């Protein structure tokens, strides 16, 4: 018996083949220079020893497209909503290699990433294998479930295969079809319109995407809020006491008030009192909680915050580390570790490091905490964690160094104790008004000593006070301030907004941000030490134009339509809806929106012209 195994990437195929083959592997070349075929023997529980060939693809080997008769300029963009869609082979050498290797195989085992996209690529592999051997059906297809390249984990995945999830594959095909029809029809409409109006050049493209434009919409909305912000004055009262040679200011419990006369009346009442009274004094223990296990979105947000890395660069570095067996699968929405994860084994591997080795030894000798568990679980992959040790000095890529160190330190922090401190709060009554002052003393840093990215420091201590004590007001001022505008959008905030609104997935958020940058709809602007994302004049004009159009109950620049699609895709995965049903629903919505855009093209061009003239 021969079993054909196919991985999603060449590096995964090589690593899995070496693990299953026990190092006794014969390597053959294919017609594609990146693809190798690995021959070995392995004993599966249900078959015993058999011949195995492990090969791989390079991601997708097919894509969806329209027939050539629907090329740009040959038809109205509107016809794309009902045009025939073809599945075209894009990696012919890879496709043919699978077909050829499947001819003498009895079973197919798929080793793609365990997410929706991996299920669809698994279906593409199945189609290629079936073309070479019609005896291979879904009934004799195995699907491995793995999240990292640890030896025991891979052996367990090989010995307990599951079925290919065709519902998830259908959900991906649904999303691809909707994105193809909507993206190309609107892109052609926008591009032709803006070229005719001389807003973009002949060789430029004004693309539209169902994730792309809501992402741009977030940036434009923040930019307009900042630009249109009008500062307002407010007033507040700030008393100060001097004790033990320390000056301590108190904050008014009323906060900031926008009525100057009202504050003046209250302030004058306070000034009649030379002394104030400490009415309440409370000291209590407080904690700074260790982080939750790491998701893709949190990794991207923190790398943008701490290292100024783009979401795309972060994911690229994490995937490179995963492909070499150093990290678990980096595309996950799960913020918990499985109970089967051997924490001590990871500590043992990491204790050789000069940077965090002593901390690992401490966790091994003094004991570790049970990591916290979040509320998210994609039921495909655990939270991101280190799998094998590598010295970061041996890594040549700077981004990989930063990502690996961050992931290790985050994992160790998850297994450490919370930081602990004492929070002292004093309440001062001055006249009829109440004010508070707080002081923090960090008593145990715990996880903060290994998770060096987060700061939690002791504040200036309060002087020794007691309840009921009369204290002299050394200074009591009525102060004026002004409201501040919101900050421009950072990539960290944009990732968080996209995640919260269902725009893209943990795996595709980086691609959508990169797309609006490459299309020159937005640009990065450095102010001080912070990189902000701001809309270009074209990006601003496009969103304002779409916002001025009167669509019926929908918006092409807000996240609601895409979120509805993502919810529908989940319903396909759950078996509640069929792929064809969702495609028809979304086609109807976007087809009607297309008709509105076509009728109101001048609104879009005028908005772009106006935006282009504004400084």
Point out the residues that are catalytic: 329
CB-CB contact of 161 with 110 (8 Å) = no
CB-CB contact of 141 with 125 (8 Å) = no
Cα 112–Cα 117–Cα 122 angle in degrees, nearest 5 = 45
CB-CB contact of 542 with 189 (8 Å) = no
3-state secondary structure of 254: coil
| Residue 499, Ramachandran bin (φ over 0: left; ψ between -120 and 50: alpha; else beta) | alpha
**CA-based nearest residue to 559, from 569, 567, 548, 550:** 567
Q: How far is CA 358 from the centre of its chain?
A: 32
3-state secondary structure of 78: helix
CB-CB contact of 62 with 88 (8 Å) = yes
* CA pair distance 18, 52, nearest whole angstrom: 12
3-state secondary structure of 533: strand
Torsion of CA 311, 314, 315, 316, to 10 degrees: 120
Q: Which helix (H) or strand (E) holds 63?
A: strand 62-65
**Residue count (the chain):** 615
What the block records as the tokens of 79 is: 């016809």
CB-CB contact of 317 with 399 (8 Å) = yes
What the block records as the tokens of 397 is: 């890529």
CB-CB contact of 69 with 86 (8 Å) = no
Residue 154 CB contacts under 8 Å (≥ 6 apart), including other chains: 15, 16, 19, 20, 146
- Name the burial class of residue 319, with classes exposed (0-12), middle (13-18) and buried (19+) by CB atoms within 10 angstroms of its CB: buried
Residue 182 CB contacts under 8 Å (≥ 6 apart), including other chains: 208, 209, 210, 586, 590
Q: Which helix (H) or strand (E) holds 412?
A: helix 398-414
CB-CB contact of 463 with 243 (8 Å) = yes
* CA pair distance 78, 394, nearest whole angstrom: 54
């Amino acid at each position: 018996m021969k079993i054909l195994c196919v991985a999603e990437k060449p590096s995964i195929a090589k690593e899995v083949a070496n693990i299953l083959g026990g190092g006794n592997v014969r390597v053959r070349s294919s017609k594609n220079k990146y693809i190798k075929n690995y021959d070995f023997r392995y004993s599966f529980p249900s078959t015993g020893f058999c011949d195995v060939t492990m090969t791989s693809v390079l991601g997708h080997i097919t894509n969806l497209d329209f027939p050539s008769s629907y090329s740009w300029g040959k038809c109205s963009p509107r016809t794309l909503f009902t045009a025939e869609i073809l599945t075209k082979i894009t990696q012919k050498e890879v496709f043919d290699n699978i077909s050829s290797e499947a001819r003498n195989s009895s079973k197919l085992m798929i080793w793609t990433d365990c997410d929706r996209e991996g299920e669809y690529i698994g279906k593409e592999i199945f189609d290629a294998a079936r073309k070479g051997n019609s005896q291979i059906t879904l009934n004799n297809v195995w699907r491995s479930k793995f999240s990292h390249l640890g030896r025991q984990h891979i052996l367990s995945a090989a010995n307990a295969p599951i079925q290919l999830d065709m519902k998830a594959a259908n959900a991906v095909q649904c999303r691809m079809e909707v994105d193809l029809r909507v993206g190309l029809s609107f892109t052609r409409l926008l591009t032709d319109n803006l070229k005719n109006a001389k807003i973009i050049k002949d060789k430029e493209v004004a693309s539209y995407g169902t994730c792309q434009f809501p992402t741009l919409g977030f940036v434009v909305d923040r930019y307009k809020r900042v630009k249109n912000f009008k500062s307002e004055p407010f007033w507040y009262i700030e008393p100060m006491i001097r004790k033990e040679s320390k000056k301590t200011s108190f904050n008014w419990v009323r906060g900031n008030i926008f009525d100057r006369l009202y504050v003046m009346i209250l302030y004058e009442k306070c000034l009649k009192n030379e002394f104030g009274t400490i009415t309440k004094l409370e000291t209590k223990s407080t904690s700074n909680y260790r982080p939750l296990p790491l998701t893709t979105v949190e990794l991207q947000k923190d790398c943008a915050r701490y290292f100024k890395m783009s979401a795309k660069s972060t994911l690229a570095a994490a995937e490179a580390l995963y492909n070499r067996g150093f990290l678990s699968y980096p595309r996950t929405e799960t913020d918990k570790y499985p109970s089967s994860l051997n924490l001590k084994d990871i500590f043992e591997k990491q204790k050789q490091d000069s940077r965090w080795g002593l901390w690992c030894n401490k966790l091994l000798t003094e004991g570790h905490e049970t990591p916290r568990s979040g509320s998210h679980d994609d039921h495909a992959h655990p939270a991101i964690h280190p799998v094998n040790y590598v010295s970061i000095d041996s890594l040549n890529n700077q981004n990989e160094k930063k990502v690996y160190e961050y992931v290790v330190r985050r994992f160790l922090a998850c297994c450490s104790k919370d930081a602990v401190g004492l929070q002292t709060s004093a309440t001062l009554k001055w006249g009829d008004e109440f004010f508070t002052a707080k002081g923090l003393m960090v008593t145990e840093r715990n996880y903060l000593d290994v998770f060096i990215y987060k700061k939690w420091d002791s504040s200036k201590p309060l002087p020794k006070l007691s309840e009921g004590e009369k204290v002299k007001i050394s200074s009591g001022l009525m102060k004026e301030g002004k409201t501040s505008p919101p900050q421009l959008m950072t990539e960290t905030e944009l990732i968080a907004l996209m995640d919260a609104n269902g725009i893209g997935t943990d795996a595709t958020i980086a691609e959508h941000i990169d797309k609006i940058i490459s299309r020159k709809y937005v640009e990065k602007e450095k102010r001080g030490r912070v990189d902000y994302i701001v809309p270009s004049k074209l990006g601003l004009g496009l969103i304002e134009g779409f916002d001025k159009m009167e669509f019926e109950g929908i918006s092409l620049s807000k996240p609601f339509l895409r979120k509805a699609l993502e919810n529908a895709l989940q319903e396909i995965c759950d078996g509640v809806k069929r792929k064809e049903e969702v495609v028809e629903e979304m086609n109807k919505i976007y087809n009607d929106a297309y008709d509105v855009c076509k009728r109101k093209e001048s609104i879009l061009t005028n908005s772009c012209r106006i935006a282009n003239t504004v400084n």
